[in-house]
Structure 1
Amino acid sequence: MIHEEKKMKVKKGWLAVRVGLEDEDGGGFQRFVIPISYLYHPLFRSLLEKAHEVYGYNAAGPLRLPCSVDDFLHLRWMVEKEAAATSHHHHHHHLPVSLSFHSC
């Protein structure tokens, strides 16, 4: 039977990303699907710049992000929390950020 995971369709407006730090057997990666709008958030932009430094732009397949799964989940939580806060309040504010991204 053909393994279907690689052929999974991503909804329009969403982006598949591959998160995890390099290790010896190349494992430790997890696939996530995030809204493309996240890429415009300052936190994700800094991570994308780091991804360019580490991997370059020529990687095939899902976008690879050079951070641990835990860091990614924390980052996603902060972006979602900020999005929820700004949609419920008229004033715009930024949450303090103290994330350090690991590179290989």
Structure 2
Amino acid sequence: MSNMQEDKKSKVKKGWLAVRVGLEDEDGGFQRFVIPISYLYHPLFKHLLEKAHEVYGYHTSGPLRVPCSVDDFLHLRCKFGEEDCDKFYH
């Protein structure tokens, strides 16, 4: 991948946050998603943040890692707000 393509992929719109979702033993590894920052305040996502702290601690390099299966994350995103389901991208 060229540097220009990497720069485009790493840029996130203002008000959004890149996260890596997946489990260590899951086929396909981690997937990158970009979510609205407002999701950080949702009780379901707060639970995922607590779980991330237990698994990875506070000091990790790179994007925020969320320790749940990609399928579970895709299902949860709709619980954050039905109107927001279409806004997710990876």
Smaller-chain TM-score range?
0.7 to 0.9
Question: How many percent identity over aligned positions?
Answer: 78
Amino acid in the other structure paired with 2:13: K
Matched positions, count:
81
Residue of structure 1 equivalent to 2:2: 2
SS of the counterpart of 2:46? Answer: helix
Q: Partners in 1 of 2:6 and 2:32 — Cα distance?
A: 10
Report the alpha carbon displacement of residue 27 of structure 1 after superposing the two structures with TM: 4.9
Structure 2 gaps of 5+ residues are: 84-90
Compared with structure 1, are the counterparts of its residues 27 and 60 closer, same or farther at alpha carbon in structure 2 (3 Å cutoff)?
Answer: farther
1:23-42 mapped onto 2 (5 Å cutoff): 23=25, 27-42=28-43
Residue of structure 1 equivalent to 2:22: 20
- Larger of the two Rg values belongs to structure: 1
Residue of structure 1 equivalent to 2:69: 68
Q: Partners in 1 of 2:14 and 2:43 — Cα distance?
A: 22
Structure 1 gaps of 5+ residues are: 85-104
Report the alpha carbon displacement of residue 19 of structure 1 after superposing the two structures with TM: 0.3
Range 32-41 or range 6-15, more displaced = 6-15
Amino acid in the other structure paired with 1:54: V
Q: Partners in 2 of 1:27 and 1:77 — Cα distance?
A: 22
**TM-score computed with the length of structure 2 as normaliser:** 0.79
SS of the counterpart of 1:33? Answer: strand
SS of the counterpart of 1:23? Answer: coil
Residue of structure 2 equivalent to 1:45: 46
Q: Partners in 2 of 1:31 and 1:5 — Cα distance?
A: 13
Q: RMSD of the TM alignment (CA)? A: 2.1
Which of structures 1 and 2 has the larger relative contact order (alpha carbons within 8 angstroms, sep 6+)? Answer: 2
Report the alpha carbon displacement of residue 23 of structure 1 after superposing the two structures with TM: 2.8
